[in-house]
Amino acid sequence: MNTKSRLVILVAVMASLLEIIDSSIVNVALPTMMGNLGATLEDISMVITGYAIANAIILPVSAWLGNRVGRRKYFLSCIGLFTAASVACGFAPNLYTLIFFRILQGLAGGALLPTSQTLIYEQFPKEKAGTAGAIFGMSVMIGPTLGPTLGGWLTDTFGWRSIFNVNLPLGLIAIAIGLMAIENPPFATGNEGKKPFDVWGLVLLVLGIGSLQYMLERGESNDWFDSKLIIFCGIMTAVSLPLFVWWETRVKSPIMNVRLFLNGIVANGAALQGILGFFLYGLVFILPVFVGQTFHYDATQTGMLFIPGSILTALMMPFIGKMLGKGINPKYLIAVGFLGVMTSIFMFTKLSPLSSKSDVLLGLYVRGLAMAFLFVPINSSILSQFNGITMGEVSGILNLFRQIGGSMGIAFIGTMMTKVGKQHYADMAPHVSLLDYNTWSAYNAAKSGTHMSHSMGMATQAELAIRSLYGRVQSQVFMLTFQEIMFIMMMVVVLAFIPLYLLRFKNKTVKVVDAH
């Protein structure tokens, strides 16, 4: 591999890390931003929702846009726009300005991930697709782990605006390296700009994906279909996406090659990525709630908890890449990965308020090991079947389905925590009565432990005892809900073996084919 290829890989990794870290770095700064900007939680959450919606819209058409304007110009322009929008977010004077530039950042960032993935894969021959997958996979795994930890440290040390301004030097370095190293491939020089622009395709895509992503991101907070806006988004999704597919099969210059879904490799690969995203983002959503309630961890401590497992994933990925290069069937590796995921979820179903930090870490180690068996084989085996512009289109589809799967996982878990939690509370509350011997004993024990509260002007002993009982009930309700959600997640992961069984490779995944 020559120096230019190494520089291309470096700038691609930097760009993908910028995008992935920024999708999660904001989460921990929301409380600080609320106080600084005088916004409610629902208002400030649009900073995350707007980015996610814009990101999802661009992902499936990033290859088409790069082909239309020239991939070098498109990729470097997106890095520049992403960097400029980040700085603008850091200097935003009010909430509405922040949301506007955050959406602009998401539009630019949506191009970085699939284009970076394509650039990395093109630097390797087909028999080393596993190595390419390992390099890209490490950035994909490290990003979500670094985001909350880095965001918490920057917010506590320099203020919330620093989480955006930190992108300026990194973005400028990436642009400088990209100008030196990246060149247009023959299939993406910008000649496609002469073809007719698919206006209706773009409109239907924006309406369909945008409405779906908004519904998933804000459904729980808006009480789902009790909200007229969520109902409207559901109708728009149900109407726009089928119309989009119908239109793209008829137009001469489609904005997205939907016929790729007729290829079983793409369809089954997208399904695997969706289930992977469901588990990956869903677990990252619910496990911090568990450690926050059980161990009283803050955001930085929670982020640190995920780092060892992610390091294990990064260390294992090169070995998985070498195994693919030796000709091991990727389906076997993927099966091992999903079995490992199911094992880790089963371990999490055994957690309780009496669990220790080591119990959580052990499950995260198993998860980290399993992820190495999934990211590299899924991406490498599928992308190695395609060349040129088609590889970029497939990369966009895989990344889109992983993100949509993640949004579905978060929406599902958020809804389950509310609905199932209420049901468990309703089931348990009638059994907590002072007529019950165990309840009466716990009540008296709580009273005896608060004998000084009344003399200090605080609540009475009886009131504090009742609150103590209520807290214990809520703790048990949360644990029952957590275990039930983990069990359902395990059942969802089992479904991954259906598309895995149906996955059939037309070419050998180690066959050498010129990607240019």
How confident is the model at residue 467, as a pLDDT? 65
In the chain, which residues have pLDDT < 50? 452-453, 455-457, 510-516
Q: CA distances (Å), 407 to each of 95, 285, 299, 443, in order? A: 24, 10, 21, 42
DSSP class of residue 433?
Answer: -
User: Can you state the angle between helices 357-383 and 129-158, rounded to 10 degrees?
Assistant: 140
CB atoms within 10 A of CB 432: 16
- 70's torsion region: left (phi>0), alpha (psi -120 to 50) or beta? left
- Dist. CA 72–CA 76, nearest whole Å: 6
How confident is the model at residue 84, as a pLDDT? 92
pTM over 0.85: no
Contact 265, 390 (CB under 8 A): no
CA atoms within 13 A on the CB side of 230: 14
Closest CA to 244 of 204, 210, 209: 204
Helix, strand, coil percent values for the chain (each to nearest 5): 80, 0, 20
Tokens of 160: 């919330």
DSSP class of residue 213?
Answer: H
How confident is the model at residue 437, as a pLDDT? 54
How confident is the model at residue 514, as a pLDDT? 33
Contacts of 457 (CB under 8 A, 6+ apart): none
How confident is the model at residue 388, as a pLDDT? 73
How confident is the model at residue 336, as a pLDDT? 92
- Dist. CA 233–CA 220, nearest whole Å: 14
How confident is the model at residue 338, as a pLDDT? 92
How confident is the model at residue 429, as a pLDDT? 64
How confident is the model at residue 461, as a pLDDT? 62
Burial of 183 (0-12, 13-18, 19+ CB in 10 A): exposed
DSSP per-residue codes, 227-250: SHHHHHHHHHHHHHHHHHHHHHTT
Give the phi and the psi of residue 350 in degrees, each rounded to 5: -90, 0
Give the phi and the psi of residue 74 in degrees, each rounded to 5: -65, -45
Overall residue count recorded for the chain in this entry:
516
